[in-house]
Structure 1
Amino acid sequence: MDKIIPTLMILLITVACQNQSKKQQEQEDRVAVAKSEKESMIKSKLASKNLLPDNLNILFIAYKNSDKLELYVKSPTDDYYALLQTYAICKRSGILGPKKAEGDKQVPEGFYHIDRFNSQSLYYLSLGLNYPNELDKSLGYTGSDIFIHGKCETVGCLPMTDDLIKEIYLYALWAQESGQQQIPVYIFPFEMTDENIGNFKSEVDAKTYAFWKNLQEGYALFRKNSKALHYSVQSGRYVFD
């Protein structure tokens, strides 16, 4: 019996290690598949902006009403971003307006960044956002697990299909490996022009309208100078440097 117990323990440890090794291999394979399918095309696109995968910063802007995700790029030593690619967001849940509560199926609106990578996502590959951010928390908003991810289903995320998330994930991975600590993701209900805000004003309450006017400040700043936004949160609103 004494010999059986250690043998059984060794067997269990071996099986656990094999399962972990298999999981790690699956994680590596998804990124490897993305690289095999997308790397050449991505390098070509970056070359059109005189950029390389190992010298890259990126920034995303999403527009809910038009279901699009814009990818901006620059080198780490440059100040100004340039638009590289516009992707179609595959599906949308909720309505215009910020996410306020867990389970409301709303896509957030505001200024976020990527805070985690998941190469073994249920949605193929995914990039997690830091929702709720400082402003959301100050307003008492709740919720979690908002991602840019694969497939074409959502309850508050930005689904891009498995095919498109491969290249989006690689851009983000290479930016991270280039030293970019926080990859900005700005989510707007629509392009924040005075005309658009006026057109949608009747569909929301005064609080959401005031929130949109605050978002418009950040939108206008980025459109003016093409730089990542610097801001703080004061008295329940974004304050831009």
Structure 2
Amino acid sequence: MKKEEIKDSEYVIEVNNVSKKFCKNIKRLMIYGLVDVIKGVLNFKTHAEQLRRDEFWALRNISFNVRKGEAVGLIGLNGSGKSSLLKLINGIFLPDVGEIIVQGKTGALIEAGVGFHPSLTGRENIYLNGTILGMKKNEIDKRFNDIVNFAEIKEFLDTPIKNYSSGMVVRLGFSIAVQSAPDILLIDEILAVGDLAFQKKCFEKIEALRHDSKVTIVFVSHDMDNIRRVCDRCVFLDRGKVKMIDETDIVASEYFA
């Protein structure tokens, strides 16, 4: 995967013929990983297109582009590859085949607690997570109160994260992500953990980011009402392959057909 500074390009995310495989057996996964590392060091071909025992394709031949300021939804049944694709875009996973090019600073809310240390306080984790997202200390200082107020955790600021509810962790993670001034915001279904009032506030913030800052959104959800509210287009995944890419209402009709 390549991450680059924003250029005068039509697209800020390019997913080019991407495939990703996983292994169902942890012992074989470790062996395959070691073999691949050794082959890489020795410049031997790794045969990435081929499946070995207990491997399977989670995503296969995925291609699409996202323009600056556009909001694209990833939809599909459980196991269709939505979250894996989002993690590929974020660089958590690397594609086995193909290439993903991301231009710009990315903020992500993919799993509750990712980027936080459970033994550190909310205050300390704001600085930790903000740094991970590319913020400098003076930027975090400047936006600290906005982060705390949006997350609604002022009373628990000096409490270790491990004592937070899952909803509180999500609130804090989302607040840091949107205050990090991202060019691209990646959101998984983790927002469903929060209460309805906070979800409403999140979607209002997403709409404001799109309108005021032209932030690009990639959004995973099973809730088609939220998809319709946020997304211009959708990528419909079916068993790891692209079934359809089109405007949201058109894809939603096919999804429910």
TM-score between the two structures when normalised by the length of structure 1: 0.25
Which of structures 1 and 2 has the larger relative contact order (alpha carbons within 8 angstroms, sep 6+)?
A: 2
TM-score between the two structures when normalised by the length of structure 2: 0.24
From the CA coordinates, give the structure whose radius of gyration is larger: 1
